[in-house]
Amino acid sequence: MQNATVLNPSVLTLGFGEMTEIKYLYAVISLIFYILIIFCNVTVISTISLQKGLHEPMYIFIAVLCVNGLYGSSAFFPNLFFNLLQETQTISYIGCLTQIYCIHTYMGWEVNFLAAMGFDRYVSICHPLRYHSIMSMKLVFRLVFAAWLYNFILFSTHFALTVRLPLCDSVILKIYCDNWSVVRLSCIDTTLNNIFGIFITVGVIGLMPVLIMASYIQIFRVCLQSSKATREKALQTCSPHLITLINYLFDVLFEIILHRYKPTMLPYGLRVAMSVQILTIPPLLNPLIYGLKCREIRVRITHLKIFVLKKV
């Protein structure tokens, strides 16, 4: 790579490959997915914002998670849709860097917010009498800000290491830009990028699930010593969070597999499906899980819908 010709292309070609054979069908599917994601997340966010009875820590964290889902999906779907309508599927270098930054910060913030929600569930179940004194609005917003700042600092440093790289190729193997896809196009040694990438993976994707599991160990310990009614209540409040976490970890696992092995070793359809999981499933599944599993949100959505219909 050291002797390769430096191109530093202003436009990069995305790996749509076989998708172009029925690209209009994929464009329709992507548009439907994006509309559903917007509708579901905005519904939950609006319900929590407008209903004062939902101005509690747990629901605020849910709203933040939905906002992050909108942020991540908006970094992916519009570009995907418009690219599928074009003759050639390309993205500008600046656009690619912007997409990288948005997608990776979305992924980091997702697990950070889940960690904050895990702490909230721990306090709620293990210290119910002190819950409101501990989980004050001040602490809630501090946790949200800390989750945001932690990932912002880590990935901004990693992103700066990527921006400095000269490129010798212009073909991205994925249908969107991510950090690894650009780093592999570099003409120079990328050891520093790889080391820092491992550091971020351990510091975010590795550390946060460990913190969440530590919270749940305490929760399960308290549940074993409590009544059946308490255990059922704990399961009801924790199950949406656990489903969201497990889904996220599976999606991240797909990403790690794609990074560990050369993408072209996998069948094209499987490669695309694995690469888009993290950007499609959590933003759609999260509001559905919390909207259906959390009775308070479900009831408030119904009340809000009735109120809007009466106004109309």
Q: Which comes out higher in pLDDT, residue 140 or 291?
A: 140
Mean pLDDT of 203-232: 86
> What pLDDT band is residue 1 in, cutting at 50, 70 and 90?
very low
Q: Rounded to a whole number, what is the distance in angstroms from the first to the last CA of the chain? A: 64
Of the ranges 64-78, 134-148, 219-233, which one carries the lowest mean pLDDT score?
219-233
Q: What is the amino acid identity at position 1?
A: M
Domain that holds residue 293: 11-311
Instruction: State the pLDDT at residue 134.
Output: 93
- The reply to whether 228 falls in a domain is yes
3-state SS, residue 234: helix
Instruction: State the pLDDT at residue 269.
Output: 81
Instruction: State the pLDDT at residue 91.
Output: 93
- The reply to whether 4 falls in a domain is no
- The reply to whether 1 falls in a domain is no
Evaluate whether 200 touches 158 at the Cβ level (below 8 Å): yes
- The reply to whether 3 falls in a domain is no
Average pLDDT over all residues of the chain: 86
Nearest CA to 89 among 165, 167, 173, 166? 173
Instruction: State the pLDDT at residue 203.
Output: 83
- The reply to whether 6 falls in a domain is no
**Total domains, the chain:** 1
- Enter the pTM of the model: 0.89
CATH number for the domain harbouring residue 188: 1.20.1070.10
Mean pLDDT of 9-23: 86
* Tens-digit pLDDT profile for residues 265-312: 777 787 888 888 889 999 999 998 887 777 777 777 776 655 555 555
Token digits for 171? 């073909």
- The reply to whether 285 falls in a domain is yes
